Amino acid sequence: MATQVVPSVQRRLSSDVLLALLATYVVWGSTYLAIRYMLVGFPPFLGIGLRFLAAGGMLYGFLRWRGVPNPTRIEWRNSAIVGAFLLAGGVGGTTFAEQWISSGLAAVSAAAIPIWSALFSGLWGQWPARREWIGILIGFGGVALLAVEGSLSASNPIGVIAMQTAVVLWSFGSVWSRRLKLPNGTMGFAAEMLTGGALLMVIGLVRGEHFTAFPEPSAIAAWAYLVLIGSLVAFSAYMYLLRNVPSALATSYAYVNPMIAVLLGTIFAGEHITEIGLIAMMLIILSLSLIALAGQRTKGSA
């Protein structure tokens, strides 16, 4: 009887994992709104491409200055694959979609990421445990309830289609990245952002995107927030999670982001949470507990 050990979490999550989860939960819960502000002054693909080129360039330059080796040719290729699916397809598609859908609808749509990730993981023979499936479905139900809390609107079906495509591409790229040889540590994050950002710029130029005027201060501030916090902090944290914890836990941010959006609206915009919203949040917290506990497992095979 052979035993295949899959990524697991300790009974008490390490401080690094907790900090990475906090970054993806809180920061990415706010980036959907930041993207909306950025789109006021930036074309979608050029704006988000410049975001990742700036973040990746800063991180790459710092690491090379510290003496970190340059990625190999294969590592650059694999980084480009991850960048194409996660950044060009996932983030680029989300930014493109938010021209027609609300930030709240984008956040709620992303709740399907853990389900798609579980299905793609199954293609490689790593189906989630029963407790993980229960947690995934409970979390999805909680987000569905939470959807009634905000203004979830779409002015064009193109936005909905683009958002769902982005969710699928992000999920597939997340699962595939765990099986690719990537540069070690933060150099991998830098390479992925550089290659993904370059591809986004190409897509934007092919589409004929251009700047019609110098962006407003609010758009520049939103772009800078996406570069420094959304990319350097949250994206790096997410890639760390993908390499160190089960997929269900790494992608659990998709359930928390809509909840964070609602809480931010309550604190800063005077919105109110109804009884349904409170029930939804309790379901989400329950789902996260189940997913985290389910990480304490090994998968046996003959």
- At residue 36 the predicted structure's pLDDT band, cuts being 50, 70 and 90, is confident
What is the pLDDT, as a whole number, of residue 265? 55
Q: Which structure tokens are listed for 136?
A: 């995934």
What is the pLDDT, as a whole number, of residue 88? 95
What is the pLDDT, as a whole number, of residue 126? 73
- At residue 272 the predicted structure's pLDDT band, cuts being 50, 70 and 90, is low
What is the pLDDT, as a whole number, of residue 41? 92
Q: pTM for the complete prediction?
A: 0.78
User: 6-10, 30-34, 254-258: which has the minimum mean pLDDT?
Assistant: 6-10
CB within 8 Å of 115: residues ≥ 6 apart? 136, 140
Cα separation, 269 vs 258, whole angstroms: 15
Residues 250, 241: contact at Cβ < 8 Å? yes
Percent of all residues in the chain with a pLDDT value above 70, rounded to a whole number? 75
What is the pLDDT, as a whole number, of residue 229? 93
Q: Which structure tokens are listed for 241?
A: 């999670």
Task: Locate all alpha helices (DSSP H) within the chain, ordered by sequence.
Answer: 15-22, 28-38, 44-65, 73-82, 92-97, 103-109, 113-123, 130-146, 157-177, 185-206, 217-225, 236-244, 247-250, 253-268, 275-294
Percent of all residues in the chain with a pLDDT value above 90, rounded to a whole number? 36
Residue with the larger pLDDT of the pair 140 and 289: 140
State yes or no: pLDDT of 299 exceeds 60: no
What is the pLDDT, as a whole number, of residue 260? 76
Identify residue 118 by its one-letter amino acid code. Answer: A
Cα separation, 248 vs 115, whole angstroms: 8
State yes or no: pLDDT of 5 exceeds 50: no
State yes or no: pLDDT of 189 exceeds 70: yes
User: 37-46, 225-234, 261-270: which has the minimum mean pLDDT?
Assistant: 261-270
State yes or no: pLDDT of 125 exceeds 60: yes
Sorted by where each begins, the domain ranges of the chain are 2-301
Per residue in 81-94, pLDDT (tens digit) is 999 999 999 999 99
State yes or no: pLDDT of 251 exceeds 60: yes
Mean pLDDT score of the chain? 80
State yes or no: pLDDT of 194 exceeds 70: yes
State yes or no: pLDDT of 232 exceeds 60: yes
- At residue 281 the predicted structure's pLDDT band, cuts being 50, 70 and 90, is low
